[in-house]
Structure formats: C-alpha cells, structure tokens
Amino acid sequence: MNRKRIVGGIVSGSVLAVSAAAGLLAGAGTSAADPATLTLTYTCPFPLIGNQPISVVINADIPATATVGRPTPEFGIEAVATVSSTATAGLNLVGAKTVEGTAQAAATVAAPEATLPVTVPTTIPPTAIPASGAFDVTATGTTPSLTFTQPGEATVSVGDLMLTLHPKKADGSDTGLGTFDSQCTQDPGQDNVLATVQITEAAQAATEQRIR
C-alpha cells in the first residue's frame, strides 16, 4: 500500500474535522451571549483506507439577539480536537514533529428575509506532536459580520467540511506527505442547528434595554 496516502488520510480526518466545525458559527447577535455546544459526526473519504467516521465538537458563546439593520460583531470561536494515538504513530512514522492546517466550513443562516450560505475559514497553528499517544489540537476562527433586514428568528446550521492538513518536520520542512484534502459529509439524521437568534426592530430593542 501507499504509506503516504494512508497516513495522510488518517491524520487529516482526526485533526481537521473538529477545526473546521469550529468555524461554523455565523449570524451571531448583539446582546449577551449564551453558551452553545454541538456534537456532530461526519464521514470523510480517504485514499485506500476508505470512509472514516469523524466526531466534531463545537463550543461557542453566541449572543441570543440581534437588531434589524445593525451589523453583528465578529466573534472568535474555538474547538479542541483529540488526535488519536493511531494518527500520532502515523505522523511519527514520517518524521512529523508539528501539524498545522486550515479548513473551509459550510454553514447556513436561515433568516426571515433569506436563507444565506456562509463559509468560515478556521486555522490550526503549528502544534507539537508527541512521541506516542493521543494529543489535543486547538482550532480557532472568526465569524463574519451579518446584517439582518427583517425581525424574527434566525437559525444557524452546520454543514459539510472541506479539510486541509500540513504536517512538518522539526526544521519546518515537508515530511513528503504534502497537503491533503478531504470533502467530509455530515452523517444524516442529526440535529445540526448550532444556535437560534431572535432579531428585533431597533425601537423594540431600545425599549427592552431600558427595562433591563
């Protein structure tokens, strides 16, 4: 078998699926934030080893309300992925000492005026790889700002993932694995709504603020 393909497939699935999911928060509001946690599973195809199951955990503080006509702020997000001992062994096999990457995450914001597709990039900074055992990788990203034009309720739903991974040697050079991409598909039958946002008119929002 082609060792390059096998190792790359295992590692890209283990590391980047969670990082990509971290970037799916979009359409946040402008008031106090509510903690949101969502766990989803995906199927990611890789050369030779076939489809691999991936579990994704998303944690974010999402404001519960937004105001018509006012751009929402951008919000930082974070997700932590635990890389399996199998992936660690594969990385060590090719001399990798750090791993980094990016991902494009698809999301949908269903608002009263329209249903909007949103793509959010996330980044994994260089992360040290241990000699053996599982290890954690932290992924971060920033949501885009959105402006709603009608009052009502918006829902933020998580979609599919496009993953990329780049392992490197101690001197920063390539291991020979190159860059790996995998289009991951969300497993069916899951509740993929990350958050709901209540959108109010400006006058209503001002009244509610005075009452508080």
- Please enumerate in sequence order all residues whose Cβ is within 8 A of that of 41, keeping only pairs 6 or more positions apart, or say none: 53, 54, 55, 56, 186, 187, 190
What's the whole-model pTM score?
0.72
Per-residue pLDDT tens digits for 124-158: 889 898 999 877 777 778 777 788 999 999 998 88
pLDDT at 22: 41
Has residue 212 got a pLDDT over 80?
no
Structure tokens at 96: 């990798």
**What's the CA gap between 85 and 63, in Å, rounded?**
37
pLDDT for 169: 95
Q: Could you give the CA distance from residue 3 to residue 157 in angstroms, rounded to a whole number?
A: 37
CA-closest candidate to residue 78, choices 61, 98, 102: 61
Average pLDDT, whole number, for the chain?
A: 75
Amino acid identity of 144? Answer: P
H helices of the chain, in order, are: 3-22, 85-93, 202-211
Q: What is the 3-state secondary structure (H, E, C) of 22-58?
A: HCCCCCCCCCCEEEEEEEEEEEEEECCCEEEEEEEEE
Q: Which two tokens stand for residue 58?
A: 């998303």
Range in 28-37, 65-74, 131-140 with the lowest mean pLDDT: 28-37
Separation between Cα atoms, residue 155 and residue 170, nearest integer Å: 44
Assign 3-state DSSP to the chain and report helix, strand, coil percentages, each to 5. 20, 50, 30
